[in-house]
C-alpha cells in the first residue's frame, strides 16, 4: 500500500484538497437540512404568516367591497393564520 500512501500524502499538499476531502460530510449535513425544511413545509397549505412566520396563513373568504366601492368589482379578501390568532383584510381592485 506504499503507492496509495504516497498519493494521499501528495494530495494533502494540493491547495484545496482538505476542503474537497470534507465535501462528503458537508453534503450529508446539507441533505439533512433540506430534508428537515421539506418536512416542515410538507403539511403547510398557505403562505408565511406576517405575525408568527408559520406557513399557515391562508385565504378564508372573499366578498365584494361594500360602501363607496360597492358595484365597482373591488373585493375584500379575509386571511387568517392557522397557527396564531392573526387575521387581515386585503382590499383588491380587479382592474
Q: Are residues 51 and 93 in the same domain?
A: yes
Q: Are residues 38 and 50 in the same domain?
A: no
Residue 45 contacts residue 58 (beta carbons within 8 Å): yes
Distance CA 46, CA 82 (A): 9
Q: Which domain holds residue 83?
A: 46-95
Q: Are residues 55 and 94 in the same domain?
A: yes
pTM: 0.50
Q: Are residues 53 and 93 in the same domain?
A: yes
Domains contained in the chain, number = 2
Q: Are residues 86 and 65 in the same domain?
A: yes
Q: Which helix (H) or strand (E) holds 88?
A: strand 87-92
DSSP string, 28-71: HHHHHHHHHHHHHHTT--SB--TTT--S-EEEEEEEE--GGGTT
Q: Are residues 52 and 92 in the same domain?
A: yes
How buried is residue 13: exposed, middle or buried, by Cβ count under 10 Å (0-12/13-18/19+)? Answer: exposed
Q: Are residues 64 and 38 in the same domain?
A: no
pLDDT in tens, the chain (95 residues): 688 888 888 888 888 888 888 889 999 999 999 998 888 776 666 788 999 988 889 999 998 888 766 667 788 999 999 889 999 999 888 76
pLDDT at 11: 83
**Strand, coil or helix: 5:** helix
Amino acid at each position: 500500500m506504499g503507492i496509495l500512501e504516497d498519493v494521499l500524502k501528495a494530495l494533502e499538499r494540493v491547495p484545496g484538497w482538505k476542503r474537497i476531502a470534507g465535501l462528503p460530510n458537508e453534503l450529508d449535513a446539507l441533505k439533512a437540512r433540506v430534508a428537515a425544511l421539506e418536512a416542515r413545509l410538507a403539511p403547510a397549505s398557505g403562505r408565511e404568516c406576517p405575525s408568527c412566520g408559520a406557513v399557515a396563513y391562508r385565504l378564508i373568504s372573499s366578498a365584494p367591497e361594500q360602501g363607496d366601492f360597492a358595484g365597482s368589482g373591488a373585493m375584500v379578501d379575509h386571511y387568517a393564520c392557522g397557527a396564531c390568532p392573526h387575521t387581515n383584510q386585503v382590499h383588491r381592485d380587479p382592474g
